[in-house]
């Protein structure tokens, strides 16, 4: 390529990337200012401020503190006032939500501004996820794949919805995929610098969400698979089987074996460094809060850790490790990190009512998150993932068929397989072997993108996504949020970006597949913006029919109270007015004047039951309440609404 053309091409790609990222940032900025505080944010904000003001981590211990600490740092610098109770919160108490409610009531004039600032402070996490998807996909499948992965992240409605909040899900997805990308770099180069960087990223990842604990098992497995299968290790064909008298060949063999053993020792040392740095950073994130405390001193409430019988909940908790050798084991994590794991396990064992496809029941479904992905991810994204999966299957079948054909042809030509060749035919000269060693040494640092043209790249890319889905789906105590599997999304985006290879096809029909899918995804997402939290794809009937499939944070999390206030201002005739929203923020705190709800009870026509009658007036009701069969306003769902507020609230005029 001519130098002048190269100089003009590079800035264009950078400008295009900057433009996409700028659109993404502007989208998040607007969403952060237009949404009212959602359910979990009311708890995350006081918890984040408590980390800065009190240096305590008892509040919202069911999630690690990184994202909310990052979000509330500007508020701490601004010296936003917050009245915290003295002393740490008691075990099993979720007091962060009541504290958040009290603070909103006290700071009624400024709480929306403060939530917006905290949300904007979390935008860099999303930028990290976008850039990582671009770099990883580009190294695997080329520049076109990088652009596809970048757009899949930046325009995904689920990423837009949760990256604009101070909840940890989008931040955990971004930091997690960045950590896996850095670990892949270490696998490629296996240097001390990349090992240290990987340890830092793993520690940050563990500070975002407990789900990522599976990396402590998946990464060593991936490393072992890589060492066994990669071309870093001398293959059997490279190992000489020389005679005893061949001293030169024996010398080369010893050199090769020593190099291989040294690499194994170096890798194990690097892995140890990664784990040590990760746990050191994890403890720093909690300010070494009761680190190395003996396991027997903890009070647990989950059946798994307390040892209680199923169905028994002790007020004082328990500890199944007391009286065992593990009682004196120093736990290498902060106290509230382990207490948070116990608390969230306790909540799953206790269970909550869950909703799916019109059914409300106690407990969940193992397929809930798979179904939620099918109805909440854009159809274009789903098609790209399906095409990429089909390409992997076809490629595997083609490779197996070619291997069998080569073996048959070799037998016809009288060539024995490598395993049947005699020792004399396998004897290698010392000079070629020495040359092979030099070549192998030069390949210690493989250039980016060359690890991957085999099965390991697919295995390593999909392992975090599969583990996330399996881990979250196995907890069926309750199902509320698609956001729990958001950490799997960036890996699926990178996997789907492999369809960029279709753009090089001679067939116009095949070449159109990724183009049409990407256009469909972007148009589908932007068509309902800024209501990205309520997004449902066309197969599910769109967001207007989303309530038929899922509830809560998937469609109505209390985010549209600002729009409800604007609707009330535009309809002064809506009197008397009753607002029944989802979440902890009340209409009065938002400045909406409402009346006290009064309901009358009368006997049914058959006299066998009681019927509730709504007082005449205007009702603004959130869909999470409407879809609940046990809610007093469920019957309104059968009526044609008189208006819509976003896709999460409906307006009814009861005459």
Instruction: Write the pLDDT tens digit of every residue in 287-307.
Output: 999 999 999 999 998 888 888
Q: Three-state DSSP class for 534?
A: helix
Q: Is the link from the previous residue into 501 a cis peptide, with omega within 30 of 0? A: no
For residues 50 and 46, give the distance between their C-alpha atoms in angstroms, rounded to a whole number.
Answer: 6
Instruction: Check if the beta carbon of residue 95 is closer than 8 Å to that of residue 89.
Output: yes
The reported pLDDT for the residue numbered 271 is: 95
DSSP H helices, 413-507, are: 423-426, 430-442, 455-473, 489-496
For residues 167 and 171, give the distance between their C-alpha atoms in angstroms, rounded to a whole number.
Answer: 8
Helix (H) or strand (E) holding 183: helix 169-189
Angle between helices 169-189 and 192-206 (to 10 degrees): 160
For residues 581 and 558, give the distance between their C-alpha atoms in angstroms, rounded to a whole number.
Answer: 6
Which residues, in sequence order, are bridge partners of residue 651?
Answer: 620, 643
- Name which of 118, 104, 124 is nearest 171 in CA terms: 124
The reported pLDDT for the residue numbered 395 is: 65
The reported pLDDT for the residue numbered 611 is: 63
pTM: 0.86
For residues 534 and 554, give the distance between their C-alpha atoms in angstroms, rounded to a whole number.
Answer: 6
Contacts 24+ apart (CB under 8 A), 353-360: 353/478, 353/628, 354/478, 354/479, 354/480, 355/550, 355/551, 355/552, 355/627, 355/628, 356/479, 356/549, 356/550, 357/548, 357/549, 358/548, 358/627, 360/627, 360/628, 360/629, 360/630
Residue reference for tokens 């008298």:
245
Give the CA distances from residue 412 to residues 399, 406, 419, in Å, rounded to whole numbers and listed in that order.
20, 10, 17
**Which residue numbers in the chain have pLDDT < 50?**
1-2, 4-8, 232-257, 399, 401, 403-404, 406-408, 410-412, 415-453
Hey, how many other C-beta atoms are within 10 angstroms of the C-beta on 26? 10
Helix (H) or strand (E) holding 610: strand 610-614
Q: What is the pLDDT of residues 631-649, one digit of tens each?
A: 888 989 989 999 999 999 9
Q: Give me the DSSP letters along 9-52.
A: HHHHHHHHHHHHHHHHHHHHHHHHHHSPP-HHHHHHHHHHHHHH
Residue reference for tokens 């490779």:
399
Q: Give me the DSSP letters along 55-78.
A: ----TTTTS-SHHHHHHHHHHHHT
- Name which of 518, 483, 492 is nearest 180 in CA terms: 492
């Amino acid at each position: 390529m001519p130098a002048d053309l190269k100089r003009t091409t590079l800035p264009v790609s950078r400008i295009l990337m900057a433009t996409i990222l700028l659109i993404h940032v502007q989208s998040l900025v607007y969403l952060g200012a237009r949404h009212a505080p959602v359910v979990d944010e009311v708890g995350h904000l006081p918890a984040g401020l408590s980390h800065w003001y009190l240096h305590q981590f008892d509040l919202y211990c069911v999630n690690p503190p990184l994202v909310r600490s990052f979000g509330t740092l500007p508020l701490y610098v601004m010296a936003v006032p917050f009245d915290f109770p003295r002393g740490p919160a008691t075990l099993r108490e979720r007091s962060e939500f009541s504290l958040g409610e009290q603070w909103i009531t006290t700071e009624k004039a400024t709480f929306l501004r403060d939530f917006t600032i905290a949300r904007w402070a979390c935008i860099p996490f999303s930028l990290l996820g976008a850039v990582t998807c671009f770099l990883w996909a580009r190294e695997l499948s080329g520049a076109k794949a990088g652009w596809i992965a970048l757009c899949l992240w930046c325009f995904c409605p689920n990423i837009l919805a949760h990256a604009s909040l101070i909840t940890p899900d989008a931040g955990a997805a971004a930091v997690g995929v960045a950590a896996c990308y850095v670990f892949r770099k270490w696998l490629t180069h296996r240097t001390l610098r990349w090992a240290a960087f990987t340890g830092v990223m793993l520690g940050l990842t563990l500070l975002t969400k407990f789900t990522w604990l599976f990396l402590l098992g998946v990464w060593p497995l991936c490393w072992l698979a890589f060492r066994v299968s990669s071309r870093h290790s001398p293959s059997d064909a490279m190992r000489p089987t020389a005679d005893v008298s061949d001293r030169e060949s024996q010398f080369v063999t010893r050199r090769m074996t020593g190099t291989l053993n040294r690499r194994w020792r170096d890798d194990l040392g690097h892995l140890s460094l990664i784990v040590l740095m990760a746990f050191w950073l994890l403890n720093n994130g909690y300010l070494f809060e009761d680190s190395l405390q003996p396991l027997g001193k903890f009070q647990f409430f989950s059946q798994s850790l307390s040892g209680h019988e199923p169905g028994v909940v002790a007020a004082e908790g328990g500890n199944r490790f007391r009286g065992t050798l593990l009682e004196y084991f120093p736990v290498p994590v902060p106290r509230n990190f382990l207490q948070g794991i116990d608390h969230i396990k306790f909540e799953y064992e206790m269970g909550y009512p869950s909703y799916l496809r019109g059914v409300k029941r106690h407990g969940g479904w193992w397929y809930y998150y798979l179904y939620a992905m099918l109805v909440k991810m854009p159809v274009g994204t789903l098609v790209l993932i399906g095409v990429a999966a089909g390409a992997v299957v076809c490629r595997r079948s083609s490779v197996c068929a070619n291997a069998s054909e080569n073996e048959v042809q070799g037998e016809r030509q009288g060539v024995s397989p490598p395993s049947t060749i005699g020792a004399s035919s396998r004897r290698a000269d010392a000079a070629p072997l020495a040359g092979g060693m030099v070549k192998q040494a030069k390949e210690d640092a493989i250039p980016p993108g060359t690890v991957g043209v085999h099965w390991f790249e697919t295995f390593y890319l999909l392992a975090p996504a599969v583990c996330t889905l399996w881990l979250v789906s196995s907890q069926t105590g309750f199902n509320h949020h698609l956001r729990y599997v958001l950490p799997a999304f960036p890996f699926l985006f990178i996997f789907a970006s492999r369809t960029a290879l279709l753009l090089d096809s001679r067939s116009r029909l095949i070449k159109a597949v990724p183009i049409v899918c990407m256009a469909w995804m972007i148009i589908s997402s932007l068509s309902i913006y800024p209501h990205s939290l309520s997004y449902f794809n066309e197969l599910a009937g769109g967001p207007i029919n989303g309530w038929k499939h899922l509830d809560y944070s998937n469609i109505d999390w209390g985010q549209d109270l600002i729009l409800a206030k604007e609707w009330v201002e535009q309809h002064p005739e809506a009197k008397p007015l009753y607002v029944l929203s989802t979440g902890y923020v009340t209409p009065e705190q938002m400045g909406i004047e409402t009346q006290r709800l009064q309901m009358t009870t009368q006997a049914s026509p058959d006299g066998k039951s009681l019927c509730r009658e709504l007082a005449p007036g205007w009702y603004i009701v959130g869909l999470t309440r409407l879809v609940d069969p046990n809610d007093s306003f469920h019957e309104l769902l059968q009526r044609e609404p008189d208006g819509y507020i976003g896709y999460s609230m409906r307006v009814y005029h009861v005459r």
